[in-house]
């Protein structure tokens, strides 16, 4: 089948693999506990929920004490800029339920042309290990969105300067706080960053996990979001 006739889909690596959880898990396990908030009582669901609903851009704010806030961007970037360290982070990085959907689409249908948008060569190598089972292309920092009919993005901020390239396309946003108005998922309103481009394409949210639980400040489960 001619690939040009298939529906072309671009997916961020971070939509398929939750590197934010990976970074936090790696540092917490391999650093002195004196740097971190008291999280001994946290369940994994609460830890995941805290990362998904945080207000700050950097996920490390979830686990580090506030006194280290000014250093967190540097800590994160040092990990990301080192291929060997990022490879270690990826070992702590869980897959999301979106990956299961992608695998199912590839296995059951022949009408999709998938491209995974990686941030670096380390992420591409991880995907290449799955290459014999999954038929998709990998690109590093894909900058041209015009060739794709559907786009799955981790963070809406990456689309701000892409208005002309995403006009008329379906945009699937990762369902977490960074993509909501005032970074508040309870508003159910899309981020203000969508205002310049909102009329040009269709936005939808896609859940990274089948069940997302709601917790109080003590980590106690309140209810399950369907």
Please give the pLDDT value at position 200: 72
Are 26 and 106 within one domain?
no
Q: Does the structure show a pLDDT above 90 at 42? A: no
pLDDT digits (tens, 9 = 90+) for 65-100: 999 999 999 999 999 999 999 999 999 999 999 998
**Cβ contacts of 189-198, under 8 Å, gap ≥ 24:** 190/156, 191/156, 193/156, 193/157, 193/159, 193/160, 194/156, 196/160, 196/163, 197/159, 197/160, 197/162, 197/163, 197/166
Would you say 49 and 130 are in contact if contact means Cβ atoms under 8 Å apart? Answer: no
Residues 196-201 have a mean pLDDT of 76
* The pLDDT of residue 5 is above 70: no
Is 43 part of a structural domain of the chain? yes
Is the domain of 12 the same as that of 57? Answer: no
Predicted pLDDT at 222: 57
Average pLDDT value for the chain? 87
| Cα–Cα distance list, 146 to 14, 46, 151 (Å) | 20, 38, 10
Instruction: Annotate 1-37 with b (16+ C-beta within 10 A) or e (fewer).
Output: eeeeeeebbbbbbbbbbbbbbbbbbbbbeeeeeebbe
Check whether 220 has a pLDDT greater than 80.
no
Q: Can you give the residue range of the structural domain that contains 146?
A: 3-17+95-215
Cα separation, 168 vs 18, in Å, equals: 28
What confidence category does residue 1 fall into, taking pLDDT thresholds of 50, 70 and 90?
very low
| pLDDT confidence band for 214 (50 / 70 / 90) | low
pLDDT for 226 equals 42
- Sequence-distant (≥ 6) Cβ neighbours of residue 79 within 8 angstroms: 23, 26, 27, 85, 86, 89
Predicted local confidence at residue 117, as pLDDT: 95
Report the C-alpha gap between 212 and 89 in whole angstroms.
23
Residues 119 and 173 in one domain: yes
The CATH number covering residue 11 comes to 3.40.50.720
Reported as a pLDDT band with limits 50, 70 and 90, residue 170 is: very high
Q: Is residue 220 part of a domain?
A: no
- Say if 157 falls within a structural domain: yes
Into how many domains does the chain fold? 2
Evaluate whether 193 touches 200 at the Cβ level (below 8 Å): no
Examine the domain organization and report whether 51 and 12 are in the same domain. no
Whole-number Å distance between alpha carbons of 36 and 49: 17
3-state secondary structure of 153: strand
Q: Which residues pair with 118 in a beta bridge?
A: 140
Bridge partners (DSSP) of residue 117 are 12, 139
What confidence tens digit (pLDDT) does each residue in 93-122 have? 999 999 988 877 766 666 778 899 999 999
pLDDT at 3: 45
């Amino acid at each position: 089948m001619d690939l040009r006739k298939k529906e072309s889909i671009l997916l961020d690596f971070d939509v398929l693999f939750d590197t934010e959880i990976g970074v936090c898990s790696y540092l917490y396990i391999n650093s002195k506990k004196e740097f971190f908030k008291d999280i001994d009582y946290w369940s994994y669901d609460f830890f995941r929920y805290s990362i998904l609903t945080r207000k700050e851009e950097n996920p490390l704010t979830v686990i580090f004490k506030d006194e280290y806030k000014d250093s967190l961007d540097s800590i994160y970037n040092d990990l990301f800029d080192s291929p060997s360290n990022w490879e270690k982070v990826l070992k702590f990085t869980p897959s999301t339920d979106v990956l299961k959907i992608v695998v199912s689409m590839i296995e059951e249908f022949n009408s999709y042309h998938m491209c995974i948008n990686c941030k670096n060569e380390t992420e591409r190598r991880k995907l290449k290990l799955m290459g014999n089972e999954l038929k998709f292309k990998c690109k590093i920092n894909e900058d041209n969105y015009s060739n794709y009919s559907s786009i799955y993005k981790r963070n809406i901020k990456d689309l701000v300067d892409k208005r002309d390239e995403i006009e008329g396309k379906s945009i699937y946003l990762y369902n977490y706080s960074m993509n909501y108005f005032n970074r508040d998922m309870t508003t159910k309103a899309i981020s203000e960053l969508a205002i310049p481009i909102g009329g040009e394409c269709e936005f939808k949210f896609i859940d990274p996990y089948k069940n997302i639980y709601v917790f109080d400040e003590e980590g106690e489960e309140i209810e399950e979001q369907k």
